[in-house]
Structure 1
Amino acid sequence: MGFVSVIKKYNTTFWASNVIELFERWAWYGFYMAFALYLVNSKDTGALGLTQAQKGIIMGTGSMLLYFLPVITGAIADKVGYKRILFLSFTIYITGFYMIGSFETFGWMFFAFIWTCIGGALFKPIISAMVARNTTEETSSIGFGIFYMMINIGGFIGPFIAGVLMQKSWDFVFHMSIIAMAVNYFVTAFFFREPVVKEEGGSLGKSIVQAFVNIGITLRNWKYVLFLIIMVLFWTAFNQLYYSFPVFVDQWIDTSALYNGIHSVWPWLAEAIGTPQGTITAVTLGSMDAFFIIVFQLVVSAFVMRFRPLAAMMGGILVLAGGLGLMFSNQSSWLILLGILVFALGEMASSPKFTEYVGRIAPEDKKALYMGTSFLPIAAGHQLAGWLSGGVYERIADDLFLLKKEVALRGISLPEISAEFTKNDYIAMAAEKMGMTGQELTNFLWTNYNPSDIWMVYAGVAVMAVVFLWIYDRFVLGK
């Protein structure tokens, strides 16, 4: 009865905020899980054919701003009004998705993604603030549980559908995101009630300056700063789910065994989510992270309740490192799926505990300030993840980079990649001149160049985070 009585206490604005969050995450993750592939895949598939390094710069810089700018945008929303900022955010998002689907060069795509991330930065502080404002001490625990569930339902549906749509046309992926975001205009207009914001004196400019002054106040706590720096490593490793994993699977993994396994039990499901070639796309595979969170989050949360937040974080990040190892070290699609499950379990144990820990160590009168600065390591983690998934991934695991090394070694002459002679054309011609089929060439490069070594980089970053957290816990915090 307790749970039902709590549910009845939530108002319309609380539910509207959660529905808005669901559709925003649907739109965002639907395109974001596929974005790395869209940037680097061959032009003849409708993608852009950029390099891994260019992909890393675009995704890293835009995503960094998405998590850094809420420091400012939260202050703007408090002054201008939540509803106005939400409508502005949806408009920027929709025009951003349209531009991403239309532009083809590195420079314009960089601009389009930054533009879209500004829409996200305007949106981000509002909905979590609305959930906080529309819950009480009695209802906040379940309220934020519902909120986290909505994030993951959207984070699962978006990529899951995108994995099917991208086989037909990349345009459909962006259209899906535009439609999902457009739903939010309707929900906001009819069901979202503007909160009464305590009006403080001063201009918008003063509010923004004050936001930076507040960050400065928080960052005087050197122990807290040290903790945030260590957590940069966690977010760097975590973000490879979006930056490198779809590309790695697309380049190296034959997922037909996974498709056949599903088909033998549920033929209808395999045919609904699979490709006409009898495989599962990297984007559909990546969406399983959010699916596992929806299924197991309550169980994991109940299990880690008994541990101190730092201990739960260390254990969770270590498990996540094991998941990264499985996801990047082999060519078995079943082991990779197991890796995503292990990764998700680690994420469920560590990510919510990060927020809880920041909330616990913050002085009572500075909780909002501390929660605001907790976005800083996420922002820095995105920038670092972009660099790792760019030049570093390219030199260790990019199929085209490794093939070019082999072509040069053999003295084979091939045309330069261009709009007319695409990446796929280059790979096909190289395979032909080397007397191999496409699959034989992939196996040859896998065996001789060991692209799976990338797992040591990504899992190693996560393990470093655990080691530094242990040192921090033992020697900096002491007793």
Structure 2
Amino acid sequence: MSTNSHSGNDLSEVKQLGMWASITSLGYIFWLVGGMELVERIAYYGVKASAGLYAKSPVSQGGLGIDLHDYGIILAVWAMLQTFIPVITGGISDRVGYKETIFVSTIIKISGYLTMALLPNFWGFLIGAMLLAAGTGVFKPGIQGTLVLSTKRENTSMAWGIFYQVVNIGGFLGPLVAVHMRQLSWDNVFYACAAIISFNFLFLLAYKEPGKADRIERARQVKSGERQQEALWKDALRELIKPIVIYYMLVFAGFWFLYNSLFDVLPIHIAEWVDTSVIVTSLFGPEGTSNGILQFWLGLNNDGTKVMPEGMLNLNAGMIMTTCFLVAAFTAKYRITTTMLFGCILSIAAIMLVGVFNAAWMIVLAIVMFSFGEMMISPKKNEFMGNIAPEGKKAMYLGFVMLPQGIGWTLEGYFAPKLYQIYASKEIISRNELVSRGMSQVDVDSIPQGEAFMRLVDFTGIEAQPLTHMLYEANNIGMAWYIIGAIGIISAVGIFIYGKWLLTMQRQQAA
């Protein structure tokens, strides 16, 4: 790797303030954009956490009734737009203004949620996902650029840790809203999310852009000819092809494949193969709980007898929103790339655990492990890019953060559901089992998408849970997760090499 690759980039690692000193040094703009991100995440994860369940749910139950291949197409398009748009909109936000781009993004996102509600079919959900992706791609650079300009190098580790913690409060509440709204009807989820994101218009009334005077002065100098400004695409491309950026993009792409599989595929895996009633029985006894407050906060079904898939996955957001600042304080003393490497390794171990076991409490353990890994790596990516970004290009570089996510999530969006369909789809396995037990292929093909397992229950006379266990034991369900984990291992090796290279460059710059 070339070492002449960081002109204009500050690679130094600044000693961080203590935990309480860092927290008290954060101003009101930081907390305001945290609130805006909270609102946006509640709405976003209300849809994202349930998207796979909505896609595979049969039409007779209000779902899309599509297979995982078609769902993968939606995810890939969604991922590509949401993660590559910030590469351009980051630079636009730096030049046009953060408040303006946040306002526009909110309108786009509302239109996406309403499209999903009004057009409950493949194309309607695809168009809604595209609008939601575009709105998110415009929203992120403005929010994160504001955060960088409202913090100092001495408190960035804690700032990004707290910000990520606030994000996950939204990530915790959104799926809980979805769990209970979708038990009424699926369109209620989308209407609720459109209403929630509208609250950001109120936050914008109190928003004051940091560094606005400097931005306006730069624009004046460009207009008067005192300062030269390249075309945005040329400026972004020149920064993007710096080895320090492009190598970062390549080595972290594998982690984002791993990361997004947890949110895109694990809810389906839990719904199909994990008996979460075991958890409720352990906590409340065989009758479950009728306490409405507990049902909401734990993500239980309306009968209070099992944990819904979103409720299981919500342990991730719940842990992050309560402990991320502690992890941020602990990891502040280590090099950023070292912290991210250990986070990646822990996440890989969690994914492998999902493949080995389908016991509910083991899935809980896997989610806990993954959450700690995520807390070590995800906030650090923004801190790292925000720190090395040249002046006047903070939002542009924070847009670049999305590139490895774009590569990883786009590939995961298409291939992870396909992997799951090949090795673990209960729908496919049930159809094959029906044929092997004597049902004609014509009759199997006539079964509506999403209803094959219940038809198998009726055909065999075996109850759902024992039949699920039998199918799980007879098939190599974990193989999809082992392949996903292997991709993460390749990424971990790349992160290790990148960290060593970066350390060499830091020593050269300090010399």
Q: Same fold (TM over 0.5)?
A: yes
CA contact (8 A) 2:258 2:484 kept: yes
Q: Deviations over 1:212-236 (max 9, x none)?
A: 3233223433354233212100000
Question: Residues 283-322 of structure 1 correspond to what in structure 2 (within 5 A)?
Answer: 283-322=310-349
Greater CA deviation, 285-294 or 444-453?
444-453
1:249 match: 270
Q: Deviations over 1:310-364 (max 9, x none)?
A: 2222211111111112234322111111111000011111223333444566678
- Tell me how far apart the structure 2 counterparts of residues 11 and 126 of structure 1 sit (CA, whole Å): 17
Count of aligned residue pairs for this structure pair? 473
1:99 paired residue among 112, 115, 119: 115
Instruction: Classify 1:97/1:340 alpha carbon distance in 2 versus 1 (closer, same or farther; 3 Å).
Output: same
Question: Residues 310-459 of structure 1 correspond to what in structure 2 (within 5 A)?
Answer: 310-359=337-386, 369-413=396-440, 415=443, 422-459=448-485
Question: Residues 91-170 of structure 1 correspond to what in structure 2 (within 5 A)?
Answer: 91-137=107-153, 140=156, 142-170=158-186
CA contact (8 A) 1:313 1:349 kept: yes
- Tell me how far apart the structure 1 counterparts of residues 75 and 433 of structure 2 sit (CA, whole Å): 29
2:88 match: 72
- Tell me how far apart the structure 2 counterparts of residues 82 and 407 of structure 1 sit (CA, whole Å): 57
1:30 match: 46
- Tell me how far apart the structure 2 counterparts of residues 458 and 76 of structure 1 sit (CA, whole Å): 35
- Deviation at 1:393? 1.4
1:230 paired residue among 251, 272, 282: 251
Greater CA deviation, 308-317 or 263-272?
263-272
SS where residue 231 of structure 2 aligns? helix
**Corresponding letter in the other structure for 2:43:** A
- Tell me how far apart the structure 2 counterparts of residues 301 and 176 of structure 1 sit (CA, whole Å): 33
- Deviation at 1:299? 2.8
- Tell me how far apart the structure 2 counterparts of residues 6 and 315 of structure 1 sit (CA, whole Å): 24
CA contact (8 A) 1:214 1:369 kept: no
Greater CA deviation, 430-439 or 449-458?
430-439
- Deviation at 1:59? 1.5
2:10 match: none
Q: Deviations over 1:358-404 (max 9, x none)?
A: 45666789766544322211111110111222222110111111222
The answer as to 2:104 corresponding to 1:88 is yes
2:15 match: none
- Deviation at 1:250? 0.8
RMSD: 3.1
The answer as to 2:204 corresponding to 1:178 is no
- Deviation at 1:158? 1.0
2:488 paired residue among 431, 444, 462: 462
- Tell me how far apart the structure 2 counterparts of residues 368 and 168 of structure 1 sit (CA, whole Å): 40
- Deviation at 1:15? 3.3
Q: Deviations over 1:217-270 (max 9, x none)?
A: 234333542332121000000001211011110111110011122325995454
Question: What is the TM-score normalised by the length of structure 1?
Answer: 0.88
1:191 paired residue among 206, 231, 238: 206
- Tell me how far apart the structure 2 counterparts of residues 445 and 350 of structure 1 sit (CA, whole Å): 36
**Corresponding letter in the other structure for 2:272:** Q
**Corresponding letter in the other structure for 2:315:** M
SS where residue 423 of structure 1 aligns? coil
2:307 match: 280
Unaligned runs of 5+ in 1: none
- Tell me how far apart the structure 2 counterparts of residues 124 and 380 of structure 1 sit (CA, whole Å): 17
Question: Residues 214-229 of structure 1 correspond to what in structure 2 (within 5 A)?
Answer: 214-222=235-243, 224-229=245-250
Greater CA deviation, 95-104 or 79-88?
79-88
- Deviation at 1:445? 1.6
CA contact (8 A) 1:41 1:48 kept: yes
Instruction: Classify 1:321/1:56 alpha carbon distance in 2 versus 1 (closer, same or farther; 3 Å).
Output: same
The answer as to 2:285 corresponding to 1:259 is no
Unaligned runs of 5+ in 2: 1-17, 506-511
Instruction: Classify 1:17/1:154 alpha carbon distance in 2 versus 1 (closer, same or farther; 3 Å).
Output: same
2:4 match: none
Q: Deviations over 1:188-220 (max 9, x none)?
A: 1x3123544335247xxxx99833323322343
- Tell me how far apart the structure 1 counterparts of residues 69 and 444 of structure 2 sit (CA, whole Å): 18
1:211 paired residue among 222, 227, 232: 232
CA contact (8 A) 1:64 1:378 kept: no
CA contact (8 A) 2:54 2:63 kept: yes
- Tell me how far apart the structure 2 counterparts of residues 356 and 163 of structure 1 sit (CA, whole Å): 33
Q: Deviations over 1:262-316 (max 9, x none)?
A: 3259954544432116111001111111111122223323333343322222211
CA contact (8 A) 1:29 1:155 kept: yes
**Corresponding letter in the other structure for 1:279:** K
- Deviation at 1:32? 0.7
CA contact (8 A) 1:235 1:377 kept: yes
